[in-house]
Amino acid sequence: MIKLVVILLIAVAVPLDLIDFPVKIVYANPIPVPSIMMPYEYITADVIVRNGTTLVKVEGTYIFVSFFRNVSMSYPIPPNSTQVVVKMDGDEISYSYSSKIYPTILGDFQFINWTLAVPDSGGFAIEVDYEHLLPEIEGNYTFLYAMGTGKYWELYDKSTTAYVTVNIDMEISNEETLDMKTYLIKQDSESTEWIWKLVEENLISEKNGLFTISSRFTSSFEPMAEDYLLTFRKAQIRTVNVPTDYQMIQAALEAANPRDTVLVHEGVYSEQIIIRKPLKLVGCDPTEAIIDGNGSRNVILLAASNVYISGFTIRNSGFAPQGYFGYCGIKISQVVFRSIDVYSCMNSIRNNMIVNNNYGIHIYSNDDKKPNFISENLIANNTVGMLVNVCNGCMIAGNTFSNNEVGVEISASNRNIFYHNNFVNNTDKQVVISNSFGNIWDNRAEGNFWSDYVDEDLNQDGIGDTAYIIDDDTDRYPLMGMFHNFTAKTEEGKTYSVEVISNRTISAIYIAIWLSSPSQSLKTGQDFILIEVSGGKQSEGFCRIGFSRTILDSTYAVFIDGIEVPAKELSTSNNTDVCLYFAFQGLEGLQRIIIVPEFQSTVLLLFLAIFFTLIILVTKKKSQYHRIL
C-alpha cells in the first residue's frame, strides 16, 4: 500500500528514515489529531492462468484526507513488476524507484516514491496499478499483497479498512474446484520468524469457472502490521463428512472448497452456521440431521450464492430483534462489500423441515435476474413461515406452510412466483402483503392449496371454480386438495416425477414393473403406477395426477382396490406429460390405486387374481421396481 511522508496508506508503510521533511502533528487538549487519514483502500487482483503461465494484474485505490499541502508517498511492489502506473484522481503522475526495500515472506519488495500537491479540499484518491507473474510454491500459486506497512508508522490515523478482491480465471473441469486459502502474515519482532494466521471469513463466489474471493480487514487503534497472502491450486471436488471428518458443521464448511458437498449424518448439531462459499450442504434425512440454534441468532446465515441446502430439520432460532426483523431458521442475506450490495442469489433450499423459529426463512434482497429457489420444504410452527423482503423474481413452489402465525409475509417485493404450495391453518393470516406488486400465484394452470378456501369444483378437475383472494393479489387456480411431488431415480439413471393433488393422505407412490406376463395385454416389464392413500370415508376422494408419458403413454385405466373407476385426461395434458383426474369413494384404512395402460375387460379377472401376489413380488424384489421417495 501507499505511504506518505506524513502518514502511511494502510496497506503500505514506509520506514521513518524515508521521510524527507519533518512530520507535523497537531494536538488538542491533549489528544493528537492525525494530519493524514486513509479511511479506505480497495485492492483488486485479476489472476489469469493459461498455458503454464500465471499472471496477476493488481489495481489498488487508496482514499486520503490530508491537512498538508504537499505530501511524499512510498509504495512497495513485487520484484519484476511491469506496467506500473500511479494516478492521482484519475491523472497519471510520475514516480521513481527507491533503494529501500520492504521484506516479505516471498522476498523483498521494492519501494517506488512520488510527491504530490494536495487539492484545496484536502481529499484525493491514489491509484496504483502493476502486474507480475505469480510464483508456484509447493504446488500452490501464491499471491502476496503488502498490506502490513502500517507497522512502520506511529503518527497517523490508524482507523482504516482494506477490501481485497481476487478474481481467478483458471481452466478447470466439472469434476474440479479450487483449493483456496488466505492468510495474514507478519514477522515476529524478536525471533524474525514468520507468523501465519488463517483467514476464514472470506466471501467466495464462482461463475462459469471464474472464482472470486473477497476479504475485508479493519484496523481501529493498531496499525496494519500483516501482509495478505492467498494460495490456490486445482483440486478434485470432494465430500466432507460430519461428524466423521469434522465434529461440527461450521468447521466442515470452512474446510470445504467451492463446489464441494458437506454431508451431515444423523445427530443434533447445536450451532449457528454461516455459509460464505458456493457448495452443497446435505443432511442424511430431515428427521435425522437436525441443526438446533438453541434459541440464539440465525440458525443458518447464507452469505454466498449458488448454495444448495437439503435434508435437515432447522429449528429454534433466536427471537431477539435483529434490526427491524428478527432472527431466522435460514436467512438468505444481502452482503455489503466495498460499499456495494452483494446479493445472495441462485440458491436452492429444498426438502427441509424448518420449524419453531421466529422467521422460518427470510429472503432479503436478491437480483431478480438470478432468483433463489425455495421448494418442497415443510415450514411449520414459526412466528412467520417465510419473509420475502425487498426481493424480486424468486421461485417458491411445492412447500407446506403449516400452523405458523403468518404463512408468508411479502414486503416491498415484486414479481415472485408462488405455486403448488400448501397453506394450512396459519393462525393469523395465510399471507400478508405490503408495498408489493406483480407477484404471481400460479403456473398458468395450477395454483396453491388454501385450507380456508371453501368454493366448489363442479367441473371435476381438482381446481376451484373461483379465484382465491390474497389481499390485492389473486390465486386464479386454487387447488382443491394438497399438492404432493414425488421423484425417483432408476438404476439406469432416469429420473421420474409424479405430481398429485388430492384431498386424501398420500402414503406412498411407486413406479412398478410387472414381473411376469399375466396376458398379452400386460407384458413382462410393463410399467404401472401404484398409489397408496388413506383419509377416511367422510367425503368423496379425488386425485389429479400428472406424470411424464415416458412412464406410461397410452389411454389409461384406474383401479382402486381392484375396482375400475372412471378417469379422464385433462386438457392440460400435452405431447410429453399427461394429467388425469378421477374420483372415488373414500374408505377407512389404506386404499391402493393402480394406473395402467387401458386393456380389455376380459383381462380384469386375471388382473385381480394376481394383484396381491404382484405387490408381494415387487416388495421382495426391490431391483424390479422403483419407489418414489
What is the DSSP secondary-structure string of 282-325? EES-TTTEEEE-TTSS-SEEE-SSS-EEES-EEE----SEETTE
Residue 144: per-residue pLDDT: 95
- All three cell numbers of 448: 396453491
Residue 197: per-residue pLDDT: 92
Chain centroid to CA 80: 40
10 Å CB burial of residue 247 (0-12, 13-18, 19+) is exposed
β-strand partners of 530: 510, 594
pTM over 0.85: no
Phi, psi of 252 (to 5 degrees): -65, -40
* Closest alpha carbon to 540 in 504, 488, 570, 591: 504
**Which one-letter amino acid corresponds to residue 193?**
E
Q: What is the distance between the terminal CA atoms of the chain, rounded to a whole angstrom?
A: 57
State how far the alpha carbon of 370 is from the alpha carbons of 205, 279, 305, 416, 625, in Å.
14, 17, 9, 12, 38
* Closest alpha carbon to 180 in 146, 210, 225, 219: 210
**Which one-letter amino acid corresponds to residue 71?**
V
Phi, psi of 508 (to 5 degrees): -165, 155
Map grid coordinates 454466498 to a residue. 304
Contact 197, 183 (CB under 8 A): yes
- All three cell numbers of 234: 486445482
Residue 519: per-residue pLDDT: 52
- Nearest-Å Rg of the Cα atoms of the chain is 32
CB atoms within 10 A of CB 482: 21
CATH top-level class of 3-235:
mainly beta
Phi, psi of 82 (to 5 degrees): -130, 175
> How far is it, in rounded angstroms, from Cα 424 to Cα 301?
27
Chunk the chain into consecutive blocks of 10 residues (it has 629) and report each block's average pLDDT, rounded to whole numbers.
Answer: 41 34 35 68 94 92 87 90 96 94 92 91 93 91 88 62 93 93 88 88 87 89 85 96 97 96 98 95 97 95 93 93 76 65 81 97 80 95 95 94 97 94 97 94 96 94 96 94 84 80 88 62 69 78 92 86 91 94 84 78 44 38 31
> How far is it, in rounded angstroms, from Cα 553 to Cα 550?
6
> How far is it, in rounded angstroms, from Cα 485 to Cα 490?
17
Contact 309, 350 (CB under 8 A): yes
Q: What letter does residue 149 receive in the DSSP assignment?
A: G
Contact 329, 360 (CB under 8 A): yes
CATH top-level class of 238-480:
mainly beta
- The 3-state DSSP class for residue 558 equals strand
CB atoms within 10 A of CB 88: 18
CB atoms within 10 A of CB 202: 19
Sheet with 577-585, side-by-side order of all strands: 482-489, 495-502, 540-548, 577-585, 567-569
Residue 444: per-residue pLDDT: 93
10 Å CB burial of residue 289 (0-12, 13-18, 19+) is buried
> How far is it, in rounded angstroms, from Cα 32 to Cα 325?
41
Helix, strand, coil shares of the chain as percentages rounded to 5? Answer: 5, 55, 40
Tell me the domain boundaries of the chain.
3-235, 238-480, 484-628
